[in-house]
A and B are shown apart, each in its own frame.
Chain A
Amino acid sequence: MIVAVTASSSFLSCSPLLLPCQGPNRRLQWRRNDKRRLATKVAVSGVITAGFELKPPPYPLDALEPHMSRETLDYHWGKHHRTYVENLNKQIVGTDLDTLSLEEVVLLSYNRGNMLPAFNNAAQAWNHEFFWESIQPGGGGKPTGDLLRLIERDFGSFEEFLERFKSAAASNFGSGWTWLAYKANRLEVANAVNPLPTEEDKKLVIVKTPNAVNPLVWDYSPLLTIDTWEHAYYLDFENRRPEYINTFMEKLVSWETVSTRLEAARVRATQREQEGTDTEDEENPDDEEPEVYLDSDIDVSEVD
């Protein structure tokens, strides 16, 4: 039996223990790494662990040479990424977070910026999987089609976008990520819906995030990311982050993947708009209790 909470109150009233917590128009984007609830792993020690898996990159670990070395992949994917996944599983096994998809864990544990302990591992697990899929052997070059059109519309030209993206990545102090994201009709204020959405509001943005934060928490659709934690480039480039960023854009980025993600993001934005006109849900902090539905037909992980 699944408990589904429909909250007409603010996000804050959704306890992390009540699942899932969906504010108005909150739709999950990524169903990858869904929990298969029955597929819990039993480690050698006999301890049952939660079921998130470390997905391998969609290419062999040495396929990105010489732009990103095999050694980097061995450590970055094989140690860093793996540790996030393993620690996340240990952290949430047996808790309410254990039955959710990775994206749901990220969103819930973000907790409006007052992050719960699972956020760091969950978000980093999500970010790294997204990162490996953002690049490919023989990547680089220029985007085409709708993606190029939107880039030119929102940044003036591809070259202008490139400069701004690289500059953002180079100036993101400390550890973090730089993203190209589709903002749809989200306003700058977190969780706010644009009351008068137009085509012009649906745009591409470049955002810098610190540490594990990603644009999912603002309900943006991430399209591309570059990891600027030092571990991402230190073995190949030492302190020379700008050189790493250049190489990433010229030789690694998978514009095909970015285009596919953009398509999905636009579909999602349109769907969301249509729902927005059906419901009158405005965020209203001073209001009634959330309604609780008990319905065995609702399977949270299949909501799309």
Chain B
Amino acid sequence: MTTVVFIILLAIFATSLYGAGGTTMDPCLESMKTASLPDLPYAYDALEPAISEEIMRLHHQKHHQTYVTQYNKALNSLRSAMADGDHSSVVKLQSLIKFNGGGHVNHAIFWKNLAPVHEGGGKPPHDPLSSAIDAHFGSLEGLIQKMNAEGTAVQGSGWVWLGLDRELKRLVVETTANQDPLVTKGTHFVPLIGIDVWEHAYYPQYKNARAEYLKNIWSVINWKYAADVFEKHSRDLDTN
């Protein structure tokens, strides 16, 4: 009797694996994790006056949330397309995944790149990042000037980054267009600091004065996060 029950249960389990359409579904896809909007590690007004509460609310609750929602929607569509062997749709979905997934990835880093002044925002980085910055850019001020110049020069929407090139073991300043993550500029690039220069990142407060926004944001940049990431990767590099 228990054998029969067991067989029935096994049959039910097998059927659920195969799904109604009779296609085989990789269990990995079934349990594919979708994205979710991370909480801000600080209050919406905590970055004033560098970045206004109005901007933080819109940026987090509307823009980032939309990227998350649309990314999950695209992932779901991708899952179906893959299950159906619909390769045209798989390819067609790539740009949506890149836009929205990139938006999610970039903004998740961005919130960690910022901190209220009373929690260390604006405080210069510790070693080894500090020495690396001096070695590559002359000084912290030199780095900031370079990033501000590059960020101001971005045409349209994009990001300006301080990154670590793990392969060549050096710091890089890069810009990416739209929501392209830093890794699109180099497979071995690790983002340390990313600054959003899409207009939505500064418009309600600074209007067209992007240079002003870039000048002020450094007072709330969380160097500790960047220094920790840098240290972790430097350690990994040294042990290779």
Contacts and interface: CB of A to CB of B under 8 A. Distances in A.
A175 B177 CA distance: 10
B58 A238 contact: yes
A239 B62 contact: yes
A239 B200 contact: yes
A230 B199 contact: yes
Contacts of A230: 157, 198-200, 203
B146 interface: no
Interface string B117-158: 000000000000000000000000000000000000001111
A174 B203 contact: no
Contacts of B207: 75, 79, 231
B208 A174 contact: no
Interface string A211-233: 11000000000000000011100
Contacts of A234: 199-200, 203-204
B66 interface: yes
Interface residues of B, number: 20
A174 to B, nearest CB: 4
B72 interface: no
Given A120-B155, A173-B178, A211-B155, A239 B203 contact: no
Contact of B208 (A210, A212, A231): A231
Contact of B203 (A83, A175, A235): A235
B199 A231 contact: yes
Contacts of A229: 156, 199
B99 interface: yes
Contact of A175 (B99, B156, B204, B208): B156
Contacts of B95: 173
B157 A174 contact: yes
A303 B207 CA distance: 40
A80 interface: yes
B203 A231 contact: yes
A185 to B, nearest CB: 30
Interface in B32-60: 58
Contact of B62 (A175, A212, A238): A238
Contact of A75 (B62, B158, B208): B208
A235 B207 CA distance: 9
Contacts of B156: 174-176, 210-212, 229
Contacts of B99: 173
Interface in B192-212: 198-200, 203-204, 207-208
A196 B158 CA distance: 42
A80 B208 contact: yes
Nearest to B63: A239
A235 B204 contact: yes
B109 to A, nearest CB: 19
Interface in A181-211: 210-211
16 contacts: A79-B207, A173-B179, A174-B157, A174-B179, A175-B156, A175-B157, A211-B155, A211-B156, A230-B157, A230-B199, A230-B200, A231-B199, A234-B200, A235-B203, A235-B204, A239-B63
Given A230-B198, A238-B204, 19 more contacts: A75-B208, A173-B95, A174-B157, A174-B158, A174-B177, A174-B198, A175-B155, A175-B199, A230-B200, A230-B203, A231-B203, A231-B207, A231-B208, A234-B200, A235-B203, A238-B58, A239-B62, A239-B63, A239-B200
- The 7 tightest CB contacts between A and B, nearest first, are A175-B156, A230-B199, A211-B156, A174-B178, A174-B157, A239-B62, A234-B203
